[in-house]
Structure 1
């Protein structure tokens, strides 16, 4: 039986900051991701969790273009992005691994409808803007905007994941030897209702969902791939420096941006505390990161 690795792909790794949100740009990055994951899958049973920040934001913009009906809520747009990205990933992986089955599973994840993030949005979605563009869009659509590096982006609520409702299906697919793409975009956020569940207007952070999945699967490793090549201290200053190895205790001494590296560090710390080994690094260096020759390794 192969050891299990949960691989988390950032939405910004699949669509780089500043890139036009075109199919061709996303496909080019997905090909890079698929190549790295196909190599990992030779040695590990792999579950893939992907982000959807740029993609779900683009869908929200397209959603506004047709004003004959009310805009669809974020949970529905999240499901749409799961299908889009999951299809592209599955196809490219299957092309590289013709003898291995690859499954994409729309995944519902329970959240608390009263999560504090509902009042303090922090999850970046959609393309980047300059200050003038952001101001016009914020006023026109009643959006909240925050700075993301040198750009400005829309932010939405990001409730924390509580439970993966489709966990049994994930277990079944992995037990059958399939590569599983699940919890896409952090999963579709739902909360308990009078009868069953109902959707929640938000986008779950995929790194936190990936950690929850890794813990529930008792995975051996959690690999968080993004558009940054490591965790940096004093990012954006003349003193910035990469952390190559760190413990949860060491990372707790620093503050990282809530909308970008913060959730990745929180996820890696959580999984390392659980007893696993977590890695953060660049998409194109996935194998090197896992081998601890690049990126940041977090362990006890």
Structure 2
């Protein structure tokens, strides 16, 4: 099969961890070990998050007295694509992947008039308590928002319209190359109408970019791999339980938090609705099981034959039930 795997940024640097290179490399090594079987048996495209990493670079840039002005977000996204792509390429090789592995610094075309520029929602960087977040917002001109019981910086997240390097990506996949692209959603760029591209101050949601890539390359599966085991019903209550199978009708009856599970669900909906093929959400450490449906949450176009190999509740079919899962940004 041809698989697009979207890796959450928090699966590579977890909440509360120091952003040291050695810590991130350990997580990338674990990710590569989980992805290596997919690369061995399938065509694989990997799209990774960068929320913690781009936030760290942005903060460093804001505090660098040698700079006249901080580096723009599109450049920082490109930097994180290079860093994380390098680590993934090396660790996949060390995990036994024998196919060629290539990381591409990817540009994602967005609409300069996207309303997201006026309403930042994308979490980047570390978490803070409320007072510290307000102080940093005042100091740097940021906008901040609650992320669970903590606070983080939020930046514009316009819709991805097209991947500039799409033809090259498709060609590489067709020639049995493991492709790492669309990191951090891709460096956001606009077109001035004459074909001239210009970077913009934003971070594109990597799950939406992964869905766009998956449709464009005619993927058989979209896997959204993160630090939570599945979509959860009644999260935070004694009735909390994983949902192993959902279809588009089920999802239409549910609500998900905009800053965490919401984009993942929306990305899966887009892929399934456009292709009729399956998507799945689950833990990066269980990537193979998420693919075969024995772990995570599988999302289909129509009602499924709920013959799960593992026990799990059926989706709750009631007016707009609230389904909330763990926080994950980037």
TM-score, normalised relative to structure 2: 0.88
1:117 maps to 116
**CA positional deviation for 1:67:** 2.6
After superposition, residues 1-300 of structure 1 pair within 5 angstroms as: 3-68=1-66, 69-97=68-96, 99-193=98-192, 195=194, 196-274=196-274, 275-300=276-301
CA contact (8 A) 2:189 2:200 kept: yes
- 1:106-141 per-residue CA deviation (whole Å, 9 max, x = no partner) reads 111110111111111111100111122212111111
CA distance in 2, matches of 1:147, 1:233: 22
Q: CA RMSD in A?
A: 1.2
* Distance across 1 between alignment mates of 2:50 and 2:297: 23
Post-superposition shift, 1:234?
3.2
User: d(CA) in 2 for partners of 1:151 and 1:299?
Assistant: 34
Between the two proteins, the alignment pairs up a number of residues equal to 298
- Structure 1 residues 238, 143: CA separation in 2 closer, same or farther (over 3 Å shift)? farther
TM-superposed CA distance for 1:98, in Å, is 5.3
Q: What SS does the corresponding residue of 2:154 show, helix, strand or coil? A: strand
2:316 corresponding residue in structure 1: none
Residues 6 and 224, structure 2, Cα contact 8 Å, conserved in 1? yes
| 1:184-230 residue CA offsets vs partner (Å, 9 max, x unmatched) | 11111111115411111100000000000000111000000011111
The two structures have a TM-score, normalised by structure 1, of 0.96
CA distance in 1, matches of 2:121, 2:233: 21
- Could you say what secondary structure the match of 1:255 adopts? coil
Look up the SS of the partner of 1:222 in the other structure.
strand
Alignment partners' CA distance in 2, 1:35 and 1:73: 33
- Where 1:41 maps in the other structure, the secondary structure is helix
Say if 2:39 and 2:97, in contact at 8 Å, map to a contact too: no
User: 1:93-114 deviations in whole A, cap 9, x for unaligned?
Assistant: 0112353211000111110111
How much does 1:152 deviate?
Answer: 1.1
Shift of residue 238, structure 1, vs aligned partner: 3.7
CA distance in 1, matches of 2:160, 2:243: 27
Gaps of 5+ in 1: none
Structure with larger Rg: 2
Structure 2 counterpart SS, 1:237: coil
In 1, Cα distance between equivalents of 2:288 and 2:129: 35
Contact 1:21 1:127 in 2 (8 A): no
Contact 1:111 1:161 in 2 (8 A): yes
Deviation per CA, 1:139-195: give whole Å up to 9, x if none.
Answer: 111111111122211111000100111011101211221100001111111111154
Q: Which moved more, 1:218-227 or 1:62-71?
A: 62-71
- Name the SS of the counterpart of 2:188 in structure 1: strand
Task: Tell me whether 273-282 or 47-56 shows the greater mean CA deviation.
Answer: 273-282
Structure-1 separation of matches of 2:97 and 2:183: 23
Task: Give the Cα separation in 2 of the matches to 1:240 and 1:138.
Answer: 35
Distance 2:145 2:256 in 1: 15
Q: Which runs of 5+ in 2 are unaligned?
A: 302-330
CA distance in 2, matches of 1:258, 1:99: 38
